[in-house]
Amino acid sequence: MHLYLIRHAHALDGDDDVVRPLSPKGRKQIRAVGKWLRDTGAFEAVEIWHSPLRRAEETAKFLARRLKSKARLTDVGGLRPDDAADSIYKKLHQLRHPVALVGHEPHLSALASLLVAGESVPARFVFKKCSVLRLDRIDGVWAVRWQISPELV
């Protein structure tokens, strides 16, 4: 199984964290990353889970559009910035198909660390805005396949 952990693209500043939209810079980031994923064939998810925060939902929608993907977009609980990684960790072990998660820091670093190293602290990964980490589960063990960020594509 493949898993893609994606940090939302750059967003506008604002007082209400829940409704902050992507900035022009963020839309440019997701276009570049989406083009790279499409052109290389590196994205195979059949579902894209996103947090309920607007910037994550917009990142997921822009990504699906750019990829011309038929992946189902789903607002999933447990993907907010300060959520514990454990609840998503349990959901992922039940899956048998590739999925992408669009979320936030520090949650994504904690989740990736928990999956790969068995503990969420200390964080062993750095997620820049709009970066993607692909993990593969082989014989029940998660391994890093690759990681990209907008400035690399």
* pLDDT, tens digit (0-9, with 9 covering 90-100), for 15-68: 999 999 999 999 999 999 999 999 999 999 999 999 999 999 999 999 999 999
Query: Which domain CATH number covers 16?
Result: 3.40.50.1240
**Own/partner pairs, 75-79, CB within 8 angstroms, 24+ separation:** 75/49, 75/50, 75/51, 76/49, 76/50, 76/51, 76/101, 77/52, 79/49, 79/50, 79/51, 79/52, 79/103, 79/104, 79/107
pTM (2 decimals)?
A: 0.96
Residue span of the structural domain in which 28 resides = 2-152
**What integer pLDDT is reported at residue 93 of this predicted model?**
84
β strands within 61-140, DSSP E = 72-75, 99-103, 132-138
- Domain count within the chain: 1
Neighbours of 95 (CB within 10 A): 13
* pLDDT at residue 11, rounded to an integer: 98
Beta strands (DSSP E) in 20-98 are 47-50, 72-75
Mean pLDDT of the chain: 95
Residue 95: the pLDDT is 87
Contact 92, 115 (CB under 8 A): yes
